[in-house]
Amino acid sequence: MIKVGIVGGTGYTGIELIRLLHAHPQVEITAITSRSEEGRSLSELVPSFFALSDLKFQKPSVEVLSECELIFFATPNGTAMKMAAQLLEAGKRVIDLAADFRIKDIDTWQQWYGETHACPDLVAEAVYGLPELNRAEIKKARLIANPGCYPTSVILGFLPLLENQLVDPKRLIADTKSGVSGAGRGASVGALHSEVSENFKAYGIGGHRHLPEISAILSSVLPAEQAQLTFVPHLLPINRGIHATLYAFANNDVNDLTALYRERYADEAFVSILDAGMHPETRAVRATNHCVISVNRVSKEQIVVLSVIDNLVKGAAGQAIQNMNIMYDIPESLGIEAIGLLP
């Protein structure tokens, strides 16, 4: 059994991690931590976890977490970097679900996240945990930077086009929409039911923190050029789900793009490619680790890709577990095989 600890078990991502890991046949949750809820039982805070009443929140410390083999950080940005070095020195493995290790350029990270990085020396070592791109590196890693939710949907959608140099990398557009859970569980006016219900709006047009992450990963698969991306996120009046509508401009006459995508993701358990003209829906992936994509050539020049995921699963907790499975050389889909909920 893999003994795991979860730092930050009170937010939506942490709760989703606990839900999925509890059902994982090769995992034992040995520690959950929260500074604000220290001493309270998990079931007291999250009634759906009535079967886990013996788990109690502890104050996060290296001593507590050293009893684990693998530690997940489901915490705000800037938390994991303050503890990662000590845990790695103690021989532990770390998966950070926040952004502390996603961006390799430290100056860029500090510019977008507004603080000094606590352990820049570890950023170079961290592996970007997108299995469909970095599986071999993930297998050997001791520090994983779990991708963001928007980046997962956008990168998987654009990847086959850029890897095959089929589109202009300087004219990429990502029109993305996320459910409210993407904003986290903290109380805020913008997430109130009366603010979100029957409403739809864009945000972060001047610059969203996921933009440099997406741009860097897309650029990494190009031979020389840097990807240039217009990225506009929107808030949907739903709890879960991300829908990314991606626009690219073709530089060749390849017509059967669906076949190209199916070949690229043929061995990927969690990426499904629909027939051209079909429209993936967020409810099809609700509470699953799947990404569903359709790719459409709408004119000689323009390609439109539709990509949907559950932001809390493939966009966070499920992908983190997928990375864990790879790291420990166990079946990659173990514990995250569920199909979508309906209704």
Confidence of residue 134 (pLDDT cuts 50, 70, 90): very high
Whole-number Cα distances in Å, 151 to 168, 217, 308, 317: 19, 9, 12, 14
The Cα–Cα gap between 15 and 34 comes to 12
Whole-number Cα distances in Å, 253 to 218, 246, 297, 301, 309: 22, 19, 10, 9, 29
Structural domains of the chain, ranges and CATH numbers in brackets: 2-146+316-327 (3.40.50.720), 150-309 (3.30.360.10)
Higher pLDDT, 194 or 133: 133
pLDDT at 161: 97
Confidence of residue 254 (pLDDT cuts 50, 70, 90): confident
CA neighbours within 13 Å on the CB side: how many for 252?
10
Confidence of residue 235 (pLDDT cuts 50, 70, 90): very high
pLDDT at 202: 93
Q: Which two tokens stand for residue 165?
A: 């140099």
Confidence (pTM): 0.96
Question: Which residues are within 8 A (CB) of 261 and not within 5 positions of it... i.e. 6 or more apart?
Answer: 160, 273, 293, 295
Residue-wise pLDDT tens digits, 293-327: 999 999 989 999 999 999 999 999 999 999 999 99
Whole-number Cα distances in Å, 164 to 23, 77, 169, 172, 291: 39, 34, 11, 15, 20
Residue-wise pLDDT tens digits, 115-129: 999 999 999 999 999
Q: Max Cα separation, the chain?
A: 62
Percentage of the chain beyond pLDDT 70 is 99
Are 173 and 130 within 8 A, CB to CB?
A: no
Question: Which residues are within 8 A (CB) of 72 and not within 5 positions of it... i.e. 6 or more apart?
Answer: 4, 5, 6, 7, 17, 95, 97, 320
pLDDT at 188: 82
Three-class SS state of 178: strand
Residue 145 phi/psi, 5° resolution? -95, 100
Q: How far out from the chain centre does Cα 82 lie?
A: 21
Q: Which two tokens stand for residue 297?
A: 């050539």
Parallel, antiparallel or unpaired: strands 27-33 and 70-73: unpaired
Question: Which residues are within 8 A (CB) of 114 and not within 5 positions of it... i.e. 6 or more apart?
Answer: none
Sign of CA dihedral 60, 66, 68, 73: positive
pLDDT averaged over the chain?
Answer: 94
The residues annotated with a catalytic role in the active site are 149
The Cα–Cα gap between 183 and 241 comes to 12
Question: Which residues are within 8 A (CB) of 274 and not within 5 positions of it... i.e. 6 or more apart?
Answer: 280, 292, 293, 294
Only one residue has tokens 């502390």, namely 100
36 has pLDDT over 90: no
187 has pLDDT over 80: no
**Nearest Cα residue to 123 out of 81, 87, 92:** 81
**Nearest Cα residue to 342 out of 259, 282, 302, 276:** 282
The CA-CA-CA angle for residues 118, 124, 130, to 5°, reads: 105
pLDDT at 252: 82
Question: Which residues are within 8 A (CB) of 70 and not within 5 positions of it... i.e. 6 or more apart?
Answer: 2, 3, 4, 5, 92, 93, 94, 95, 324, 327
Residue-wise pLDDT tens digits, 61-106: 999 999 999 999 999 999 999 999 999 999 999 999 999 999 999 9
Are 214 and 229 within 8 A, CB to CB?
A: yes
Are 178 and 234 within 8 A, CB to CB?
A: yes
